[in-house]
Amino acid sequence: MDLHIQKLSKTFGQTVALHPTDLLVRSGTFTTLLGPSGCGKTTLLRMIAGLETPDTGAISIGGDTLYDAGRKRDTPAHKRGFGMVFQDFALWPHMTVFENVAFGLRTACRTRDLRENVMKALDKVRLAPMADRYPHQLSGGQQQRVAFARAVAVQPRLVLFDEPLSALDASLREEMRVEMLSLVRDLGLTALYVTHDQTEAMSMSDEIVVMQTGRVLQAGTPEEIYDRPADPFVARFIGRSNWLAPRGASDGQGETAMFRPEHLRWEPVNGAKCASYEAEVLQSSYMGDRYEVHLQADGQPDRWTAYSASRIPPGNRITVYLPENRIRVVKLHHSN
Amino acid sequence: MIKSLTLKPIRGLSILLALLVLAGLIVVPLAEIFIQSVYRDGELQWAAPFRTIADSDSAKVMLNTVWLGLCVIAGTTLLALPLAWIMANTAIGRSRWLDIVLLIPFMTPPYIGSMGWILFMQKNGYLAQLLPGLSGLTPAFFSFAGMVAIMSLHLFPFLYLLLRGALERIGGSLEEAGAVMGATPLYRFRRIIVPLLLSSFGMGAMLVFVKTIAEFGTPATFGRQIGYDVMTSEIHRYISSWPISFGSATSLSSLLLTACLLMWYMQSVLSRRFTYSLVGGKGSRRASLRSGGPVLGISLVFVALLLLFSIGIPYFSIIAASTMKLRGAGLSWDNLTLDAYRELLRWGNPGMKALMSSIWLSLAASTVAVVLGTWCALLIRRSNTAGQRAVDLISLMPNTVPGIVMVVGLILLWNSPWMPIPLYNTYGMVILTYVILFLPYTVQYVKSAAGQIDGSLMQAGQVFGGRPLYLLRRITLPLILPGMLAGWMMTFTISARELVASLLILPPSVQTSATFIFAQFEQGEVSLGMAMAVVSVGFTTLILIIMESLGSRRKWNG
């Protein structure tokens, strides 16, 4: 049951939250909407959940049309049968952990084996002993896991994640990321995940959809997105990028070129055609596993970053080499 | 969304219905006051209210009222400002029970407090018996100054709470930031504390002023004894004792109403313009303690004296008077008896009847008020539309309008010859009046409880398949229940002690505890009246305590 989104758009007053957008989430995959705040990713997610009404377009899942502006179809949120993990968890404070998880099963009148099903979901997140506690008696990570158990207890067609890790502190976030991903994989869920954290997106997703100012800039596997960014914004937002001077004045037809820091070498690479640049070392920062070196190459407008195994003192002049097959030409969009 | 498509018209209709109900209950009676004050002898006389006012007596009454309001502001400031400083800056402020105790004066019905003071200070009163040397104070106390003192001792908690809140928030990091930036204490006081405190003080002072000019209990008891007439007591006189003059009553009422609405409007403008949001998301740290030494000693004395005057003396007098065997015999152990209570609580006694009618009338009123108030509060939500804002404004209006004015309006409306519903002079009218007077409590409590329900809780319910009604039952209602209980309890407590509506609206030959106390104090057995005062304050306080302890046992709020 794939989720199809066609020409979906939304405007709040004067501001366009989402330009007409197409999107496909394949059954059983983990898809991430990635972008800075205000890029429209949360709006898109909430429209899929049925919490916002789109202006135009259509949403369907496995042949079942949930929303169609043209045919005036709109399934209300409570009939869509999705699970959702909210940013602030949204656990009902007056219900126990058990009742929170049981809620979706009760509304669907699936009360046969209710206790068993709820405990199964809680077991998955290792919270079965906490079933009778109230949300405020749990730690942040435990609340997060209850929210997750609640979302999957109903065996939803699709689980929506609205920046679920942003309310946790950094070390817990790392831990929950691994745990949540393995649960999603174990249960074979279809997941749509919204985040502004590129590490989360890169490490968890089968497919990443990068968004900015209400548009999808690029969709692809994490490798594609990192290796072949289709847009300067994507290149800058995901991973680090070094930018080359536009080659020749006539070449300025809205094109620019970049490469990743790890591809800048200190000596020529055998069997690859390399461009060489004279550069001055500005700064060398020790990161533990390597040195991060900031360079100013002659004739280049932007500073570059490169990685080195040993310290290079600032002020040194050196020659650096860049394999030409590592250079990516990126088209400038008119909108930018 | 289909949900919103189907719900929107229902919600719109619901708001319309609420507006109609509220208009009928609250706006029309108030409008009736204005209409009646210009519509005399079957014709429109725009000058009529001004003629009434120009009447030398009325002008004097108005001046009296304003002067009283200003003096009470000064009086409450003298009490509240030092107290706020003490509670914010010394170790005394750490005791939680003091916070609760300081609410007692304001929870005491003003007429009962005044009676306590009268009993204490009158000729051969308890002061003269305890400290005969001070009996010379009596004539000095039965004066305007005494009235200001009684009212200030009743109203200071309002100002204190506002000032203390402001001082605590300023005293922490805001003042420290000033110190780090190199400001001397004097400069910090001038540039940081005063501007930030001033807005809170302004709000508090206006609140005290409105409460003072709207108050009926003290003018009706103490004010009458010293012959100091204010607008509320004058309105009461015009409609309850011969010669009855509804024209004068409505003129004065419309004037009082205008004054209160004006003050309320000024206050809301001021608060919008000059209030700084001092409440940060981070819990503000308290200022470091200035404990020990003479400051603490003086503070302790101040707090002890304040408690003595605002709580100790009135309650001592009431209890002493209720346990007195022979009135003339004075304070002594062998003059102590519980006869008054036995007499009062005997079945069939007028006192017991009055108490019972008070209880069932208040029960009915609080139940109706909770239903109506919850409905309004849920409609208001975050007051996004004009309709919601109107419901908000009107349902909270009885809080701004002086009780006696509201009651006059209700009498004019329900007693008018064209009124088809024969509610006037029945118990229904009393219940309706209580409901209208105390509706704002439920609306406020439920609104704040509902406001704390984060939007995502409802959205989570929607995503997990809850229909609107199911969400109302499983999520909204359980979460606003504490607010509803608080509203119910407040309405019950306050209606059970309500004086002005009971005096003017009760059907003939029916009494409530308040009118019973009032009547017995005026002409009858003081000990019986005071026993009733103790009983009515006692059982309402008991209910407050029970409800409070029930509320704190809520499992999910620990």
Q: How far is the CA of B11 from the CAs of B17, B134, B331, B543, in angstroms? A: 10, 66, 63, 36
CA distance A150 to chain B (A): 9
B384 touches chain A (CB under 8 A): no
pLDDT higher for B268 or A18?
A18
Tokens standing for B515? Answer: 């009118």
pLDDT of residue A142: 92
Contact A239, A263 (CB under 8 A): no
For the sheet with A191-195, list strands across it.
A83-85, A159-162, A191-195, A30-34, A207-212, A215-220
Q: How far apart are CA B328 and CA A112, in angstroms?
A: 78
pLDDT score of B148 more than 90? yes
B398 touches chain A (CB under 8 A): no
- Structure confidence at residue B129 as a pLDDT band (50, 70, 90): confident
Best of B456, B462, B463, B554 to substitute, by most chain A Cβ atoms within 10 angstroms, is B463
Chain A contacts in chain B segment 458-477 (CB below 8 A): 459-467, 470, 474-475
pLDDT score of B281 more than 50? no
pLDDT of residue B54: 73
Contact between chains at B459 and A135 (C-beta distance less than 8 A):
no
> Considering just the CA atoms, what is the radius of gyration of chain A in Å?
24
pTM tops 0.90:
no
B186 touches chain A (CB under 8 A): no
pLDDT score of A333 more than 70? no
pLDDT of residue B49: 72
Work out the burial of residue B66: count CB atoms within 10 Å of its CB; fewer than 13 is exposed, 13-18 middle, 19 or more buried. middle
Amino acid at site A142: Q
Contact between chains at A90 and B456 (C-beta distance less than 8 A):
yes
User: Please, what are the domains in chain B?
Assistant: 1-46+338-553 (1.10.3720.10)
Helix B144-169 to helix B110-121 angle (10° resolution) is: 130
- Give tens-digit pLDDT for A24-65: 999 999 999 999 988 999 999 999 998 889 999 999 998 889
pLDDT score of B289 more than 70? no
pLDDT of residue A58: 94
Q: How far apart are CA A267 and CA B324, in angstroms?
A: 108
- Give tens-digit pLDDT for B245-272: 888 888 889 889 998 888 888 888 877 7
- Give the residue carrying structure tokens 């118990």: B427
How many Cβ pairs within 8 Å bridge chains A and B? Answer: 90
User: Please, what are the domains in chain A?
Assistant: 3-234 (3.40.50.300), 255-331 (2.40.50.140)
B326 touches chain A (CB under 8 A): no
- Structure confidence at residue B524 as a pLDDT band (50, 70, 90): confident
Looking at chain B, the whole-number percentage of residues with pLDDT higher than 70 is 89
- Structure confidence at residue B177 as a pLDDT band (50, 70, 90): low
Among A75, A86, A135, beta carbon nearest to B456:
A86
The complex's ipTM? 0.75
- Structure confidence at residue B279 as a pLDDT band (50, 70, 90): very low
pLDDT of residue B243: 77
Amino acid at site B441: Y
Contact between chains at A93 and B2 (C-beta distance less than 8 A):
no
pLDDT of residue A335: 44
pLDDT of residue B282: 38
B5 touches chain A (CB under 8 A): yes
